[in-house]
Chains A and B, each alone.
Chain A
Amino acid sequence: MTDLGNIALWIALLIGVYGSVVGIMAGKTGRAELALSAERSVFVVWGLLAIASAALMRALLAHDFTIEYVAAYTSRNLPVFYTWSAFYAGQKGSLLFWAIVLATLSSAALLLNRGKYRELMPYVSVVLLVTITFFIAVMVFASNPFERLGFTPPDGRGLNPQLQNPGMVIHPPMLYLGYISIAIPFSFAIAALLSGKLDTGWLAAIRRWTILSWLFLSVGIVLGMWWAYVELGWGGYWAWDPVENASLMPWLTMTAFLHSVMIQEKRGMLKKWNLGLIIGSFLLSIFGTFITRSGVISSVHSFAQSNVGWFFLVFLVLAGLGSFTLLGYRWPQLAAEANLESMVSREAAFLFNNLVFIVITFSVFWGTLFPVLSEWVRGTKVTVGPPFFNLVNVPLGLLLLLLTGIGPLVAWRKASTANLRRQFVWPVAGLVVTAAALALVRMSDGWALVAYALAAFVTVTIAQEFVRGTSARHRQYHEAWPLAVVRLVGRNRRRYGGYVVHLGMVMLFVGFAGLAFKRETEVTLKPGQSAEIRSPYGHVYRVTHQGVSQYEQLNRFVTAASLDVYKDGTYIGVMKSEKRQHMDSMGQPTFEPSTVVAIRSDLREDLYVVFAGAVQGTEEAVYRLTVNPLVWWVWYGGLVLAIGGLISMWPSGRGPKIVARRRALEAGYVARVDA
């Protein structure tokens, strides 16, 4: 089976090269049979990669330790749940995962567009095949998941304990899906440039794909934050690590695109800009892979590093040069079809929103690469960590939050003074009153105060939009309020789904601002001893150390420290933080002991307890106690964001059509002929 997987990779490589060449010929000559052959090449490559994936999965589940990858990332006593996730836990497996997912999405894109966009599809096949073939080539020539060891070890090394977390089973595939699915809009954009078919056809084809990519990236990023929070034990969820930054950058450019594409759809403007954003998003997704794999920049994600990063750099440079050259070539054909009529219009607001998105992307990119630049220019290494990113990005992020509130309030084309007054009065009132109230109660952090005031501004904006839309339906169609809300959203999914996304962003900002009030302390406690920590709300948590117990569990030896917890004198439960020493099947320790944190959450704050270790082998324990305000707002915000994304991309069903038909019938516009 292993040999079959290896052979499948080689054949897939050859078919990929064949399909790419045939696709180019099909695009040039317009011959339908060549276009069909290129499309079929994609399906064949998918089939071959599926065989290779099945072979690797079988080797993982069968503990075939003759394969280097299996021995490096699994062990006999690794739970099946995590054995499955070992497929993408290491470099080689994740390349195969990337290739099979891209092949699957490519096949889906070709099937969904069968019979449509005939001029574009041969080039779409080419771009997708070239990208898939690149990944296969990296596997075959530099990082083969089926590489064999010269001997058979009795057991594997096992999976890094930090990756043995449910979040890690979902977070990497989601991020990969986000990165990978950008290739579909990119392929249509390049196909439009290559074929010269620069009308809105390619935009229509990628509309749902772009939201899907954005959705996967959003969910992947939030799940990554959650994993970092519950698993790494440092009490935060975002550290501006280069790999985190690498996932944020394409998310920012995709978000910018989702806004600016509306201007192209409605007004025929920003064509060059939108193409640039799609190309940039794809290049940033490859750049993220380069950062993760190359080790060129120091990162906590060093477990994924290897020498293949340089393959990605070459691919990145070639893809960038090719794409932007094409864009330059088609530049004269991409003139705007309309002009901006007023600076006070939604188009202008979106322009500034895009500008801020791109500047934040640039600042993250710049900060991530500045250590390399500094070493190159001055020969001096520097660290660019959270203090820098917070200093630069907090004001930019708040500016973006402000624009999130302004955009929906301004009319398309041109907003009149009366319109502005009518739209802004309540959101601005919400902002001013919130800011004044928080200043009155002496909120100590200025940035947090601004964030909460802007959050109120955006929330009132969204509420106003929903209330006005629902009221209009209630008045016009005499619908009940709940039905009016459902139909309002159902009829304008993109618009109101977007507002739900904005609400999710507000919740995220509220959560981020809460970190300004984080409190933490370290204590050493003997059994029966207590310590206290005061939350920013004034609550007092008292923790009493119960003792330390040790026991074996699954593939690990656990040292658990327990605390009784009281909030303002009321007992609220036991919290248990652990040290886990993972073992192989022969009972030998594998990795360094990992820490499992204990978290007690409510909507307002988390009590976050970390067992640092025992004092001289006794039950006397060192704990780090942290009170993190508003962390659940981040998780719920992520959920709301995802729901909003789903609403926006959900295809139109039959429901509204039936309702519209009934109304038309009642109004006498349509006659029903009963048989």
Chain B
Amino acid sequence: MSRASMRSAPLALAAALALTPLAAAQTPPASRAPSSRLPAAEMAVSPGPPPQAPRADSSSRGRLFAPEMAGRSQAPVTARDNDSLVKAIEGKLRCTCGCNLDVFTCRTTDFTCTTSPAMHRLVLARLDSGMTASQVLAAFEKQYGEVVLMAPPRRGFNLAAYFMPFVGLLAGFVIVGFVIRGWFRVRPKAPLEGAAAGEPAAPVATDDDLKRLQQELEKFEA
């Protein structure tokens, strides 16, 4: 064990601590409270506090020279657009415009899409009607089918999607186990004659032998 290697562990730790985001430690407790109807684990993905409200309207709004070149006109953002529950629900819903993105990502990325803003409004409306997050998701599934969910619901045939990789891992372990067992079986089991008689298995190595062995090992390891 060299001294240098002893130094490497604290160094790695210091680097990890200095560079690792510590969301829970530095987020005010109030903002981490499970205020929504989603499980805490889901909320932990975007637990940030809402930004401060824009300052009082002391500014002007000049008109653009060519507004038609600036893309689709946007509606002002409301506090609910940033609601973590709304984001979490929309992260589980696929936009039906064909973009392959979830509703939240699509409406905040593809600013030409009209489908994701419409689905966003539907999410808000359903939440306003008193539905819980899971009821909103169920309502979308009923409306569009399972394809609207970003991951297959964990029931029936879909369970195969979730279990097969781990079944594969298990099967792999079993197969590797059998293969290794087969390899062990063909190993010679009887010890060498000299060893059985209590004699040293090999002559004592000289320094030169050890040096050559070291070099051979280095070559082998390279």
Contacts and interface: CB of A to CB of B under 8 A. Distances in A.
Interface in B3-54: 4-6, 8-13, 16-17, 19-27, 32, 44-52, 54
Contacts of B61: 526-527, 615, 618-620
A467 B73 contact: no
Contact of B64 (A235, A358, A618, A629): A618
Contacts of A625: 51
Given A430-B13, A579-B70, A527 B62 contact: yes
Interface in A292-349: 298-300, 336, 339-341, 343, 348
A604 B19 contact: yes
A204 interface: no
Contacts of B52: 530-532
A612 B108 contact: yes
Interface residues of A, number: 130
B158 to A, nearest CB: 7
A612 B113 CA distance: 12
Interface string A545-559: 001101000000101
A11 B148 CA distance: 50
Contact of B186 (A339, A377, A392): A339
Interface stretch (B125-133, B191-199, B200-208, B214-222): B214-222
A258 interface: no
A467 B70 contact: no
Contacts, number: 352
B66 A557 contact: yes
Interface in A354-397: 355-356, 358-360, 362-363, 366-367, 370, 374, 377-378, 380-388, 391-392, 396
Nearest to B153: A382
Given A299-B100, A610-B108, A471 B64 contact: no
B69 A559 contact: yes
Contacts of B172: 355, 358-359
Contact of B161 (A366, A456, A525, A559): A366
Interface stretch (A44-52, A278-286, A457-465): A457-465
A193 B147 CA distance: 44
Contacts of A206: none
A523 B108 CA distance: 11
Given A430-B9, A526-B60, A383 B151 contact: yes
Interface string B144-170: 011111111000011001101110110
A564 interface: no
Contacts of B101: 234, 239, 300
A90 interface: no
B165 A443 contact: no
20 contacts: A232-B109, A300-B101, A340-B183, A341-B187, A358-B172, A380-B146, A383-B149, A386-B150, A430-B12, A434-B13, A437-B13, A459-B12, A510-B19, A531-B52, A537-B21, A538-B26, A605-B21, A614-B64, A614-B73, A630-B19
Given A351-B180, A604-B21, 14 more contacts: A300-B100, A348-B180, A374-B157, A384-B152, A426-B8, A434-B12, A444-B24, A468-B2, A524-B76, A528-B59, A536-B21, A536-B23, A615-B75, A622-B76
Interface of A: 232-235, 239, 241, 266, 298-300, 336, 339-341, 343, 348, 351-352, 355-356, 358-360, 362-363, 366-367, 370, 374, 377-378, 380-388, 391-392, 396, 412, 422, 425-427, 429-430, 433-434, 437-438, 441-445, 448, 452, 455-456, 459-460, 463-464, 467-468, 471, 491-492, 494-495, 510, 514, 516-538, 547-548, 550, 557, 559, 579, 581, 589, 592-593, 595, 603-605, 610, 612-620, 622, 624-625, 627, 629-630, 633
